[in-house]
Amino acid sequence: MLRLEKRPTPSKFWLYATPVVAVLLTMIAGGILFGLLGKNPVAVIRTIFWDPLFGEFAFYLRGQLLVKAGPLILIAIGLSLGFRAGIWNIGAEGQYIMGAICGAGVALALYPTESRLVFPLAILAGALGGWAWAMIPAILKTRFNTNEILVSLMLVYVAETILAKASTGFLRNPEGAGFPGSRSFSSYTAASNPELIAGSGLHWGGVAALATGVAAYVLLSRHILGFQIKLAGQAPRAARFHGVNPERLVLLCMGLSGALAGLAGLFEVTGPAGKISIDFNVGYGFTAIIVAFLGRLNPLGIVLAGFLMALTYVGGEMAATNMGLPSAAIQVFQGMLLFFLLGVDVLTNYRIRSALMGAR
């Protein structure tokens, strides 16, 4: 009989070793899955983990990892602050959409002004849009004690309807012959968010994601607010005695995560996505929740987790195309990876003891 014994302090060794172990275990379990589906397991695993980084087309795919990881990291860092303080913003997807709509709306309203101010204005509007959308659950929580999980989640669906309305109605391209979708940002230079260095995949969203990671790290380790956030999550009563105003914290954390999600939406719509369309959102807001926890709510961890998720998306896609795997198999594989990452993590904080040995 095995049992767990809590370590006095988390193990440094396992902190870094668990992700490696988890990936190895996933490769084995995933290999079995792919084998059962009649594919060469080694080839599939290599395509997922190796090819995007070092394969034939890595020169292109490495940049794509950044494109994919950027919004995940940006959103996840915002969410992690709230999660640390025990504030559950599940609706980042909605804030992402509203940020994109507001930012794109401002930029398109100025069309065809070619001014350097257009893009900064759009960024501001995007952040404000996400912030405002997150303020709804925040204010309802502080004023009426309404549960923020429900409100933020329900507002995702409302935002999706507004998105459909935007792309078929008020933001529709007047020169698009009645087709849904806004003007394309790639042809509106003042408002577009292009690759900063050709082939790198780096656009302003990626810059913002990495900068936010650093800022969050400083905030959490050096600033009184970071301390308050951590304290509110771990010991709400103690936080009160310490002068932490819980209402202010809710408004702040929700607002910050909303604004960052809105920014991610704005950078995506003006950059890689290129326009407002009915299916503009692809679930970054939900995936970012996983990324936040995979990164153990730690800014550096989130950056790494964001890239790992991006790798499974990009590599998984390649495997699906090249090997004829159903995309569902890739989803299962991603699920397994997450299971292993989350499960093996136990070794960081606990020791496994056999009951016989551990018996006093």
In the region spanning residues 240 to 259, those forming contacts with another protein, defined by CB under 8 A, are: none
The region of 18-26, 226-234, 245-253, 345-353 touching another protein under the rule CB under 8 A is: 345-353
For residue 155, state whether it binds another protein (rule: CB under 8 A): yes
Q: How many whole angstroms separate alpha carbon 93 and alpha carbon 133?
A: 11
**Least gap, CB of 10 to another protein (angstroms):** 13
| Helix (H) / strand (E) containing 350 | strand 350-354
Nearer to another protein among residue 190 and residue 317 (C-beta):
317
Under rule CB under 8 A, residue 67 binds another protein: yes
| Residue 264 engages another protein in binding (rule: CB under 8 A) | no
In sequence order, what are the beta bridge partners of 353? 3
**What span, in angstroms and rounded, lies between the C-alpha atoms of 306 and 73?**
5
Residue 35 or 326 with smaller CB distance to another protein: 326
Q: Pairing between strand 350-354 and 2-6?
A: antiparallel
Among 95, 277, 301, 304, binds another protein (CB under 8 A): 277
29, 154, 210, 225: which one binds another protein (CB under 8 A): 154
From 109-117, 152-160, 192-200, 225-233, give the range in contact with another protein by CB under 8 A. Answer: 152-160
Q: Which residues contact 352 (CB under 8 A, 6 or more apart)?
A: 2, 3, 4, 5
Q: How far apart are the first and last CA of the chain?
A: 15
Comparing CB distances to another protein, the nearer of 119 and 280 is 280
Count CA atoms within 13 Å of residue 6 on its CB side.
Answer: 2
Residue 83-102 contact track with another protein, rule CB under 8 A, x = bound? x-------------------
Does residue 153 belong to the site contacting another protein (CB under 8 A)?
Answer: yes
Answer yes or no: are the C-beta atoms of 343 and 32 closer than 8 Å: no
Residues 6 or more apart from 216 whose CB is under 8 A from it? 77, 80, 81, 299
Check residue 290 for interaction with another protein (CB under 8 A): yes
Q: Which of 23, 25, 29, 158 binds another protein (CB under 8 A)?
A: 158
Least Cβ distance, residue 222 to another protein (angstroms):
26
In the complex with another protein, which residue's Cβ is closer, 215 or 349? 349
Q: Which is nearer to another protein, 14 or 222 (CB)?
A: 14
* 289 is a site residue for another protein (CB under 8 A): yes
Quote the CA–CA distance of 126 and 271 in Å, as a whole number: 13
Q: Are 20 and 347 in contact (CB under 8 A)?
A: no
Residue of 38, 145, 243, 355 that binds another protein (CB under 8 A): 145
Q: Using CB under 8 A, which of 104, 118, 151, 219 touches another protein?
A: 151
DSSP state of 295: T
Total number of residues that touch another protein (CB under 8 A)? 82
Between 246-270 and 92-109, two packed helices, what is the crossing angle to 10 degrees? 50
Among 8, 38, 178, 243, which residue interacts with another protein (rule: CB under 8 A)?
178
Q: Which residue has the tokens 């980042």?
A: 92
147 in Cβ contact with 141 (< 8 Å): yes
Site for another protein (CB under 8 A): which residue of 35, 120, 199, 343?
343
- Cβ(267)–Cβ(70) under 8 Å? yes
Residue 11 interacting with another protein (CB under 8 A): no
d(CA 256, CA 127): 9
- Residues 294-323 within binding reach of another protein (CB under 8 A): 294, 313-314, 317-318, 320-322
Cβ distance to another protein smaller for residue 223 or 240: 240
Burial class (CB in 10 A: 0-12, 13-18, 19+), 210: middle
Task: By CB under 8 A, name the one of 40, 113, 161, 234 that touches another protein.
Answer: 161
